[in-house]
A and B are shown apart, each in its own frame.
Chain A
């Protein structure tokens, strides 16, 4: 049954600084299950793009195959999109973003799509720093094929038809960090505000931004005991910081209104409560991180890996911006392209002049 995604703040005639209303960011009705975490993510994409004044024609959507990969039709109908092959979205996005290097990629993948069949392409998109937001809607299970274990499922997880999972899980954020992604966050789909703020920052980041979003599958993997369930997330989520995103064009910074759920996690004793950190992105925008109980330095890959190790050892769901390196050249930057989008170049730019053919023939011995 089709479910129309609810919109936050439905004021009909309201427009943002791009002159667009929320409607301009909508997509088709979702065909995923009611209550699917992926739907709330789609909603936050709409909200984030609207609030960040993103022009839909400047975004290109990509996906692989799976439940998550169906979702790009549920938002940004005015953006181009390509639902590609299972596990092969990164390569397609890599090539497509050369068409017009002023565009931003927005990829939606899942844990099966990225951590199993697509692990190779996932990691190579990281090391190339493709200019895209790479969302993994992570629920530890294959939904579209009806409930098999994915590579991120916990060892020991018991599912109805599958029995007990015998293998250790892949940690998407750890893989992204190891492959030198320049922006890595773990989020919980149930935490809408944080998801939205990190999305805005990710869209402004120059290079690849990996968002590993724990997104419960209400049909196949939502038992309380599962790391990927709503109840686990609601109980065990511990945001690293209160995060907000400040666009360069917005003028002076406004106060953060976001109040996170009370964290269950107790970090180490030497916490510095309330420390504010700011990370400036290439376009002049700023990510403001208010540490909740302990200062956390998101520019240290080592710190990011440490906190992931620690949370895995303690079965915590630590969320927030784990790592950002804002000054690394993106893939299209390093290719030294002409300013005009390549897909607008014509014959006179692309075919060498007639007189060059003689020079070339002379080179052929």
Chain B
């Protein structure tokens, strides 16, 4: 054992071949550490492939509670001969390198601790494991070896496996035997020569662990989702799949009937078309997709805006343009979604900045959509959507549902012939609507994507067109009052401001602390939660000489939007933009800001 121990502050990266069954082992590691009370985060850096290509899972252990990805890898487990040399190269000097001893490649580094593991031998020694499962459970050997070498509680590993296999006895015990075999072998045969060690903490009590797509789906269920249509696409599929998993548990009537419907559509054109139909007929409708699907949905998005149909669209962003990097994260859809459709369109966008906010916006999005009678876009991303995160437990909605301005038979009895679908009765730009099935003879109206009067009749009159577009603009202004405000973290004597949104938040939090600690640079931070920009955004920019606008794009899309909104403040804005498909690190943000500050 070395004298300088590094406790609860390092990264573990496991390199495997895609499809080799390592996700069970990696999630088990993550969850076991979480149950030991140590703050962790896990990122699956995977290829667009089912089997064979290299894939990495990186776990950050941080007693200080940092959850952003780190670029440095202290512990590397190289299970894949195909990426072996690359993995070996990636270990930090002084780090630890674990690998199966049947990989006969030359280890050309003497600045790290090297631990070969007899993986195949240990698996074969367990004669009860069927041959077709050997490769899958082989991954548990490295879990066991790591357990012994860095100090993971085997009881916590068993808890994680029980969760993973939903308490099924056989797979749990089979996997646990491999963990035990790995740990026993390591105890007898390896001598620890690296400094990395875990010690139990009490920093995860009361937290839950889940992914953003599951959180969004469960949030939508608490928001009373009634209709969902979707088409499979990475990284959004798991959102709709979570609806399919949790809706039957939460939303069946006592006699087993459904208060919801979920349809896997033939494509994204149809998925959003179904949602627009459902939203128009009075249902809380949701679809979820990613960039390529958003492109296809654009046509119906424009109709929903113009015909004023509430729908909720989750865009789990991945790297574009085009098919891009389908399994890598990005924030590149922002400018596209901000005006999604042809003609003059302004979109309502929610920007969750944590897994818990994915849940919260999951239900709030419906209230906003129905109140404003417009599509509401929620921009999450692959990093939130598909990775496991520690988060505060979901909180039951703290407000009743807002179904917006709806007229039923008894309302029409009172209003009578004065009703008009697009009449601005209240002066807020938001009209009243009725739903099919309303039995009142005056309830019906005819919706269209063409020009229409306040009474919903076809019109090509210039004045009618101008008036309707002006009302839509007014409605957009009204909508600001229903959107979540930005979250602002202010300190005394800040040197500059930062504006960002979404999954860059953990890296920004860490960068701010380290900029202050190491460089005495203090910052105020505004985390945007919605577009259109609300008044506090302008105030924040006005309050700072320099505002760094951070996003995961090539072009600094958020800065461009802010520049267009506040041209007179544009010189204060500096884009910190970078987009390589990997979750952002604090180092990137810190380095980029230091470069600017030294100018």
Contact = CB atoms under 8 A, between A and B. Distances in A.
Interface in B2-35: 31, 34
A365 B435 contact: no
Given A343-B281, A352-B251, A60 B394 contact: no
A357 B222 contact: yes
Nearest to B392: A361
Given A73-B458, A88-B269, A98-B261, A103 B448 contact: no
Nearest to B456: A81
Interface in A90-134: 90-100, 102-103, 120-121, 124, 128
Interface in B547-591: none
A79 interface: yes
Interface string B218-252: 10011110110100000000000000001000110
B446 A72 contact: yes
Contacts of A91: 229, 265, 269-274, 277
Nearest to B302: A85
A128 B437 CA distance: 22
B299 A82 contact: no
Contacts of B401: 347, 350-351
A87 B251 CA distance: 34
A100 B437 contact: yes
Contacts of A92: 273-274, 276-277, 280
B208 interface: yes
Contact of A83 (B226, B270, B434, B446): B446
A121 B224 contact: no
A94 B281 contact: no
Contact of B229 (A56, A79, A95): A95
Contact of A80 (B266, B284, B307, B445): B445
Given A82-B448, A347-B224, A99 B439 contact: no
B303 to A, nearest CB: 6
A338 B259 contact: yes
B397 interface: yes
B281 A337 contact: no
Interface in A123-165: 124, 128
B396 interface: yes
A313 interface: no
Interface residues of A, number: 56
A307 B285 CA distance: 42
B300 interface: yes
B420 to A, nearest CB: 15
B595 to A, nearest CB: 40
B253 interface: yes
Given A57-B438, A121-B270, A364-B209, A345 B257 contact: no
B300 A88 contact: yes
Contacts of B277: 82, 91-99
B277 to A, nearest CB: 3
Contacts of A60: 281, 436
A242 B204 CA distance: 77
Contacts of A347: 224, 400-401
B210 interface: yes
Nearest to A343: B282
A342 B261 CA distance: 10
Contact of B257 (A82, A103, A336): A336
Interface string A183-217: 00000000000000000000000000000000000
A131 to B, nearest CB: 13
B259 A349 contact: yes
Given A81-B446, A337-B261, A342-B283, A99 B229 contact: no
Contacts of A357: 222, 393-396
Contacts of A73: 446, 458
A352 B443 CA distance: 31
Contacts of B226: 98, 342-343, 345, 350
Given A78-B444, A85-B299, A99 B435 contact: yes
A80 B436 contact: yes
Contacts of A352: 221-222, 250-251
Nearest to A56: B444
B441 interface: yes
A350 B259 contact: yes
A125 B36 CA distance: 52
A145 B547 CA distance: 52
A88 B450 contact: no
Residue of B246, B448, B450 contacting most chain A CB atoms (<10 Å): B448
B185 to A, nearest CB: 29
A354 interface: yes
Contacts of B75: none
Interface of B: 31, 34, 160, 163, 208-210, 214, 218, 221-224, 226-227, 229, 246, 250-251, 253, 256-261, 263, 265-267, 269-285, 299-300, 303, 307, 393-397, 400-401, 434-441, 443-450, 458
Given A83-B446, A99-B280, A338-B258, 20 more contacts: A80-B444, A83-B450, A85-B299, A90-B273, A91-B273, A92-B273, A95-B227, A95-B281, A96-B436, A99-B278, A103-B436, A121-B266, A124-B265, A128-B263, A343-B282, A347-B224, A347-B401, A350-B224, A360-B218, A365-B208
28 contacts: A57-B437, A57-B443, A57-B444, A61-B446, A81-B446, A81-B447, A82-B280, A83-B449, A83-B450, A88-B269, A88-B270, A96-B281, A98-B283, A100-B435, A339-B257, A342-B259, A343-B226, A343-B436, A349-B253, A349-B259, A350-B251, A350-B284, A350-B401, A357-B393, A357-B394, A360-B218, A360-B250, A361-B208
